[in-house]
Amino acid sequence: MNNKLTYLAVVMVTVVLASCSMDTSHNGALDGYWKLTTIDSLTTGGVNNLKDASIFWSVQKDLLTVRDNNDPTNREYVFRFQRSEGTLILSEGQRYDRTNGNVDVDDPSVLSPYGINHQPETFKVDHLTHRVMTLSTEELRLSFKKF
């Protein structure tokens, strides 16, 4: 009787595991909700302190979303991204619109409050842990803390 229960338990676990498709992310510490705390200008030396602002980058699987939680229009922008040896490349930026469908971003200047000046935009990953992240381009250095 004990062998039958063990066999039945093994079969049930196998069936459950086989029926689930695990769709995992390989982003490691990059996944999550990041608060943009500063944008440093590397060309002028200026610092934009955003600690009291509510600008967030959200990373999940192969999408990166940026938004300002204080923006009354609730604008969100969605990007595809690629991460490889020390770089993060954002591309295919679109304004996220739940009702009418996403719209391609034709003017990258609307993205500058989020630290994004070009499309595609290539960031060097200067520092990344499960708590803080620093990205840079030739023009800017962006600092984040995990929220």
For residue 48, the domain's CATH number is: 2.40.128.280
Cα distance between residue 145 and residue 38, in whole Å: 10
pLDDT for position 18:
45
Residue at 73 is within a domain = yes
> Is residue 125 within 8 Å of residue 135, measured between CB atoms?
yes
Residue at 10 is within a domain = no
**Model confidence at 55: pLDDT above 80:** yes
Cα distance between residue 57 and residue 67, in whole Å: 7
**Model confidence at 53: pLDDT above 80:** yes
Its domain, for residue 35, covers: 31-146
Confidence of residue 131 (pLDDT cuts 50, 70, 90): very high
Cα distance between residue 115 and residue 42, in whole Å: 12
**Model confidence at 120: pLDDT above 60:** yes
- Chain-centroid distance of CA 54 in Å reads 15
Record the pTM: 0.81
- Chain-centroid distance of CA 76 in Å reads 12
Cα distance between residue 86 and residue 102, in whole Å: 29
Residue at 2 is within a domain = no
Residue at 82 is within a domain = yes
Domain count, the chain: 1
In the chain, where do the E strands start and end? 32-41, 47-49, 55-60, 63-68, 76-84, 87-95, 103-104, 121-128, 132-136, 140-146
pLDDT for position 51:
86
pLDDT for position 25:
66
pLDDT tens-digit series, residues 4-17: 555 444 445 444 44
pLDDT for position 92:
94
| Mean pLDDT of all residues in 104-126 | 95
Residue at 67 is within a domain = yes
Look at strands 55-60 and 76-84 and give their pairing.
unpaired
pLDDT tens-digit series, residues 62-71: 999 999 999 9
Residue at 9 is within a domain = no
pLDDT for position 13:
47
Residue at 22 is within a domain = no
Residue at 86 is within a domain = yes
